[in-house]
Structure formats: C-alpha cells, structure tokens
Amino acid sequence: MKKVSLILYICSALTFLLMSSFQAFAADEACIQVIQSAKNTATWECKDFPTPCDVPDWWEKVNTCANTDTQIIDKEQQPQNLNVNFSVKTFSSCEDMEDVFKKFIKEYGNANPNYREFWGPQMLEDSAAPLKWVTNGMGWDSAVTAPEIKAENFSQTNIQVTWVDESEIIKTDWKYIYYYNRDKHAIYIANAFPADKLEIVKVIKIPTTFTEPEIYLSWNNLTIIATKYQPWNWGYYWFNRSVKTVIINYDISNLNNLKVEKYLQVDWSVSKSRRIGKYVYVLSQSSFVFPYLDYYGPNLKSTAQAFDSQKLEVDFNPKKVLPKKAELRLTDNKSQQNVNLRWRNLPYNVSQTYSSKCSDIEYVIPDSNTLSKYSFVPSYLTLSVVNLDDPSQETKTKLFFWDVAEVHMSLDNLYITSWLYTPYRFNCPVIQCITTPCIQPDCAFPVFPSWQNTVIHKVNILAWDTKYQASTIIPGSPLNQYSMDQDSIWNFRIVTSSHFPDQYTNLFVLDKNLKTIWKLSELAKWENFQSSRFIWDKLYLVTFQQIDPLFVIDLKDYRNPKVLWELKIPGYSTYLHPYDGTHLIWIGYDTQLNQWGWTQNKWLKVDLYDISDFNNPKQQHTASFWDQGSYSDVLSNPRLFVWNAKEHILFMPATLFKNANDKANPYRNSDAFQWSVAIKIDKDAWIKELIRVTHIDTVWLEEKRKKDCAQYVNVTPPPCTKLINGEEYCPPVSTYVPEYCYATSPIGEYLASQIWQFSKNHISRNLFLDNIWYTVSNTKIQANDLSSNFWKIKEVEMK
C-alpha cells in the first residue's frame, strides 16, 4: 500500500507540475493574442476581457458570451433537474422481463456506443453446496474444558446504529474470542476469560477460494459471510456465475460438537450485510457487461453498425440471466431430509433453485432519454434474509435490478444508495483571435467533467419481510455509511459532496417517502468532505482544505435546520465518536505545508470537544502521536475503534514513524513502531497515552541489519566488456548504501525501512473483557492486565 500510495503521489505531483507549466505557458501566450469571455459567478453576467489575465478571480472563464455555452447551462441546471423517474417497477412475467431487457439492451447500446467494446463476463456451471462442511470440513484442535466464568464488561463491534450489528473479522462474547486469521485462512476460537486460561479451543479452516470472510456472533450462532471465487470459463451471458456469496451458520452452543446448520450459496459477490436480532441481511451484487460485439459488431469509426435484433431474439432467454442459489438446511423433518453421504442419511435438506421468480424482480431501468443523460450501470442485487434461530426455514431472497454503493440500515428500513454520473463531452478551450491568421492549438488537456448524483432506494424491513417503498435522486455522493441517518420520525438525513463544477458539501432531509423537506447546498465551498456524525438531532460535520472546520448543525426543526457554529482548527478528522452526552472524540490527522506549498498529513491526532454549548463548541484536549507517515486503520475503518466507556480508554492499532529531521531527505525516519495504543481520555484532565503493545520481536533485528548491509561492503566491480568500436567499457560501481547501514543510524531506522516485512505480526484488532486488554495479530493473541501496569498475563500462538 505504501508503494502504491507513493507512486500515486508522484504521478499526481508530475501531473500537477505539467499542467501548471502548460497553463503558465498558455497564459503568457494568451495574454498577448486572445480575448477571454467570462461569467460573474455571483450574478452570472457575461462579458469579454482583453486577455485571460484580466479576468478577476471571482469570474469563471467560458468559451464565449455571444453564443450561449450549453454545457455550462447544463451544469447550472443539473441540481434542479433531478426529478427523473427512477421509481421501481416489477416484471409481470418472464416474457415481460424479456421484452424489457431487449428494449433496454438496444437503447443502452445506442446511448453508450463506447461501451460496446467491453467483453462479456465469464460463466460457470452451477455447483452444489459442498457437503464436506457438514462432515470433515471443520479442523478441530482440542476440547473445551474451562469452567463457565464470564466477563461482565466486554467490547463489541463499533456499530453505527444501536441493535444493528455489522460484520467484522473478530467478535467476542463474555468468554470466547472468535477471530478470522487472514494469513492462516482459518477462524480461531479462543477461550479468553479468565486470561490465565487463554488457549485456542477450536479452529475452523476456511477454503482459500473464500475471500475476506467476516463473521457475526449472536447467542449460539456463528455466521460466516464470504465471497467465493471458482475457476471459470468464458460464457455467453452477461454476469459472472463463477463468483458466489457464501453464508455459513454454525451452532456453537457446544464447542465440543460444532454443527453446521445452514450453508447458502448465491450468485455474485458480497456487497454489504447487517444483522438485527435473529435475522442476517446480506446484499450480493453483480454488474452486467453486455456482449455488444455480438449485436453491433466491432465499433469502428468508419463503419456504422446496425443492431442485430434478430440475433437477440434468438439468443436471449430470461432464465439464463436469473441468479441461482443452493442451500443446505438442517431439519428434523424426515420428509424433507434428502442428503445421503456414504450410505448414511443426514438430517439435512439440500435444494437448488432460482433466487427469484421473474414476477418478483423489482427493477429500475431508465428510459432512452434518461440513458443519454446519465451513465447508468445495470446491475443485479440480491437481498438474502437468513433466520438464524430456525435453520430449517428456507432463506428468503429478494432480487432487484439496480446498483449499490453504500447502505444505511435502521431497525425498520434499509436505504440502498448508488452513484449515478452525468458525463459531459470532452471540452477544449476555443481561442478568439484578434489578428489573422488564427490557428487553433491542439487540445493538450481536454476537460471531461462529470456530475455525480446519488440514487436512494428505501426498503421496509420487518423481520422476515421486505417491501420496497420509495426511490429518489439527489446531487452529490455520500462519503460513507456515517453520511446517512434516519431520525425518530423516519426522516432520512444524508450528507453528500459535489465536485463539479464547484466543490462543496450538501445536506438533505427527506421524508419517509424520500421527498425533499429541506436542503442545505454549497456548504464549505472548495473544501473536502472528511467526516460526519449524526447524534440525535445534531449533525457534526468536518470539511478540510488547510484547516478543519467543525460544523454543528441543529436538525431539531427538520423543516428549518440551522448551522449553529463553525469551529476552525488545524488538521482534520475522519471519524467522530460520542464520548458522552456533552463531549465528542475526534480522531484524524494534524497537517502541515510541505516544501512545495501543498498540505500534507503531519501526525495522528486525537481530540476531545466540549459540545455542551452547541452554539460554542470548544476543543477541550488534544494529543498527537509521532510524525509524518504515521497512520491507523481506525481512520478508514471505524469498526476498529474500541472504546471502553467505563474506564474512558481508547484502544486502536497504529503504525507510528519518527522523522529523522534530515533536510536532504525529509521522508527519512529514525524509528518506527507497529503497536496497539491504549489512550486515556479524561474530560476533566487530559488525553494521555498509557502504553503501547507490539507483537514484533526485535531481539534479532541488529543481526538481521548487519546481514542486509553486508551486500553493500566490498562490492565486486562488474566485468568490463568491449564495444563494437574496440574500446573497453567498464560499468560504474554502485555506490548506493542505505542510511540505515550508517554507523550513526539507530536500529529503529532499519525497522522503519523494513516494517512491512513484519506484517504478520502487525496488531490488527483489540478487545477487552473486564479489566483484560487483548491484542490480536495473525501470529498470536496476547492478554494484558489493565489494572496492573498493563503486564502481559499470557499469550497464545495461532499455528
């Protein structure tokens, strides 16, 4: 990731310099020979200036005033012209589905001619649910012998909405830790309480074809959700059947005898999931990639292809594009038991069928006029509802023909959002010449603007039942799930950011039918939307350019929200968390200007804000953690934020770098640590780092450094060779020696340069059970005593 980020950073810098040089050169030339038209951004008055250099900063340059720039009119009108009909319909039959699809394929191809070059996706023959999960797919290690001693205060996954659980790679109850180890491809179950009895009691092996499994833990159920990739072959139809969503539920009431209660396999990859009580809701998604070459032929500029409707009539069959599911269910009903393995009848029912009937599919397909305005991407979305308490009940699947980007789930509604772009033609500047001949220069940097919108679908959730309610479209796009919220009277609040033609943040309040009640547009113009948090009837919003404005917005009167305060401080936050009813924890970065005048992250920072007076919030305490390059995964994944509210201690993984203050190399580090950090946040005193815990063993680090640096000592010169003209050429001897090999370099500099080699030992998760703090990496689980100077009590390796 660091290498990729560095490459992207270098590419961005080069692009910026090239564009700046080009613009500077163009400006120097243009100031002599062109007339520049411009519009006043406040009044939209348009007039001509002698040169581009004469255009004031608050005016926007346009191609011409004489002939109205229709592109600019489209941009201005875009936010107000979003009342397109994106309502949901239902196919009346498979024949109706076939007719709608055929019409859509033709209209989509005409509206998006460049997409015709895409290949169709692969397709695989369906496979039955693997019965080995029932019998020999559970690689147990040892039996459970510890007595039932339970913790009273224990950490749970940091979730957005109370009672709406979110999947993670680690879960705990009051006694056991369940952890998916990415390195070992296995779920380890550890008896964790009391800490002196810490041991691995079970191991569930996960196939390597399962990617990024995550788990839910509820009562006596351990639920595993993953995307399964299989070998594929290239087929004709338009989505990838070689990718499956897999949902596996175990009965863990007796860890000596784990039992698979359900194995569900649905076409396409996992997108999002949530759990409410005994029901798990899983969204699976697959995008369509139509085989346009089969119907239009090659997309050659010199040839106009006609749509081969006759071929489509023969080829298309709705049932071949319907997703399928395979399910294995534990059942006591002998009439339903149909699984026989090695001449033994097993108490399971296995079935394979379509995920939905044609007449049950709800879809959003724009008309041809809308397709020409929006870059609509067709997609299948399956909502699977699993009853964890009754494994014999068949999983209910609901099929939608729309897209998903982010979701927000309350106790009674599921809001599914997707992005919808409004692309414009490539735009090149037109120079109006004063003298002749007038030569138009080549368009070196064409502009391809795109306006981003968000489509919102609302689905009512009532335990097992799901029912579509409404849809709408709004400008901009949400940052993440914390950009959305439902209030106590079913109003939906959403924060979006717009980036074209201007950059700003929007707030929308929608009623239960997704009709706009109120909106706030163009907030914090030219600043990046960084984070937001809805807490009851208040919105805390963070944007950033060079300083961080923290906005407090009162939503109590949802028909007339008010911006109560804007507090500006250095740096920015990517996650906000309530400390109590009157204080807010802020976690993010401090920033600084680098030698090129750009703003960059300086170090990690944790702040506490007093919000008891909403009209005057104050930064009460702040603490920073080392230098530039330091980061924590909590900043991008709030589920890793572990807050012990009783002890007021924050636990988070962090990789910290200490800068060497080398002017010749400002990115040189003299030390680095990969830790889990325990931070005490006392609202009446301070924010204080208590201790750092690492799983990296540095005992042999100096010996390893000497071995690595030996390659730079007594380097043998490369052999000389003769050139074709008879001369002898001797390649130069490399004189590069990394700084960590210098005698004056501390051992920490070597660790900083090699930190990525210890990735298996990086602490990725934290938990607490009463006064025991557990740090977890892919190598071990370590128990630390919170009440006795954080002494290590015990550790257990995951082998």
Does 46 reside within a domain?
yes
**Burial (0-12, 13-18, 19+ Cβ within 10 Å), 722:** exposed
Q: Is the dihedral of CA 543, 545, 548, 549 positive or negative?
A: negative
Are 465 and 412 in contact by the 8 Å Cβ rule? The answer is no
Are 283 and 407 in contact by the 8 Å Cβ rule? The answer is yes
Are 387 and 357 in contact by the 8 Å Cβ rule? The answer is no
Does 38 reside within a domain?
yes
Rounded to whole angstroms, the Cα distance separating 265 from 260 reads 14
What is the 3-state secondary structure of 254-289? CHHHCEEEEEEEEECEEEEEEEECCEEEEEEEEECC
Does 783 reside within a domain?
no
Are 605 and 546 in contact by the 8 Å Cβ rule? The answer is no
- Tokens coding 240: 């990838």
* 176-to-197, 202, 275, 522 alpha-carbon distances in Å: 11, 11, 20, 49
Q: What is the mean pLDDT of each run of 10 residues along the chain (799 residues)?
A: 36 34 34 57 56 65 48 31 68 91 78 47 33 40 45 92 97 95 97 96 95 95 94 59 93 94 94 97 85 62 62 78 91 94 90 91 81 76 96 94 92 94 60 59 53 90 93 92 96 91 90 94 86 95 81 92 87 94 94 78 92 91 90 96 96 94 90 95 96 94 95 87 93 89 95 94 96 97 92 96
CA angle, 154 as apex, 148 and 157 as ends, to 5°? 125
Give the three-class secondary structure for 749. helix
Q: Using alpha carbons, select from 532, 535, 537, 536 the residue that is nearest to residue 549.
A: 532
Phi/psi at 500 (5° precision): -150, 135
Rounded to whole angstroms, the Cα distance separating 194 from 164 reads 29
| Bridging pattern class, strands 396-401 and 362-363 | parallel
- Contacts of residue 543, Cβ cutoff 8 Å, sequence gap at least 6: 505, 523, 524, 527, 528, 529, 530, 549, 551, 572
Are 554 and 564 in contact by the 8 Å Cβ rule? The answer is yes
Does 704 reside within a domain?
yes
User: What strands lie across the sheet with 516-523, from one edge to the other?
Assistant: 484-486, 492-498, 504-510, 516-523
H or E element that contains 494:
strand 492-498
pLDDT of residue 460: 97
Rounded to whole angstroms, the Cα distance separating 553 from 564 reads 6
Rounded to whole angstroms, the Cα distance separating 728 from 722 reads 4
Does 212 reside within a domain?
no
Are 408 and 485 in contact by the 8 Å Cβ rule? The answer is yes
Rounded to whole angstroms, the Cα distance separating 55 from 42 reads 14
* Percent of the chain clearing pLDDT 90 (strictly above): 55
CB burial of 169-182 (b: ≥16 within 10 Å; e: otherwise) equals: bbbbbebbbbbbbe
Residue 469 forms beta bridges with which residues? none
Give the three-class secondary structure for 74. helix
Q: Using alpha carbons, select from 171, 186, 178, 80 the residue that is nearest to residue 137.
A: 186
- Tokens coding 414: 């599921």
- Tokens coding 394: 């068949």
Does 617 reside within a domain?
no
Are 350 and 360 in contact by the 8 Å Cβ rule? The answer is no
pLDDT of residue 390: 96
Does 605 reside within a domain?
no
pTM metric for this prediction: 0.82
pLDDT of residue 571: 87
- Tokens coding 752: 């900083």
pLDDT of residue 52: 65
| Bridging pattern class, strands 562-570 and 46-49 | unpaired
Q: What is the DSSP letter of 371?
A: H
Q: What is the DSSP letter of 633?
A: G
CA angle, 568 as apex, 562 and 570 as ends, to 5°? 150
Q: Which domain holds residue 710?
A: 696-761
Give the three-class secondary structure for 372. coil
Q: What is the DSSP letter of 638?
A: G
| Length of the chain measured in residues | 799
For the CA atoms of 72, 74, 78, 82, the dihedral, rounded to the nearest 10 degrees, stands at 180
Domain count, the chain: 2
What is the 3-state secondary structure of 496-512? EEECCCCCEEEEEEECC
pLDDT of residue 1: 39
> What residue type is assigned to position 280 of the chain?
V
Rounded to whole angstroms, the Cα distance separating 347 from 330 reads 6
pLDDT tens-digit series, residues 115-149: 443 333 322 233 333 444 444 333 333 333 334 67
- State which of 16, 48, 80 marks the end of a domain: 80
pLDDT of residue 292: 63
**Residue written as tokens 């970065």?**
589
Residue 577 forms beta bridges with which residues? 585
pLDDT of residue 81: 46
Are 296 and 308 in contact by the 8 Å Cβ rule? The answer is yes
**Assign residue 601 a region: left if phi > 0, alpha if psi is -120 to 50, beta otherwise?**
beta
Give the count of beta carbons closer than 10 Å to the beta carbon of residue 450.
11
pLDDT of residue 124: 27
- State which of 80, 112, 138 marks the end of a domain: 80
Are 689 and 678 in contact by the 8 Å Cβ rule? The answer is yes
CB burial of 669-708 (b: ≥16 within 10 Å; e: otherwise) equals: bbbbbbbbbbbbbeeeeebeeeebbbbbeeeebeeebeee
Q: What is the DSSP letter of 66?
A: S
Cis ω on the peptide bond leading into residue 194 (within 30° of 0)?
yes
Rounded to whole angstroms, the Cα distance separating 491 from 489 reads 6
Does 13 reside within a domain?
yes
Phi/psi at 195 (5° precision): -65, -30
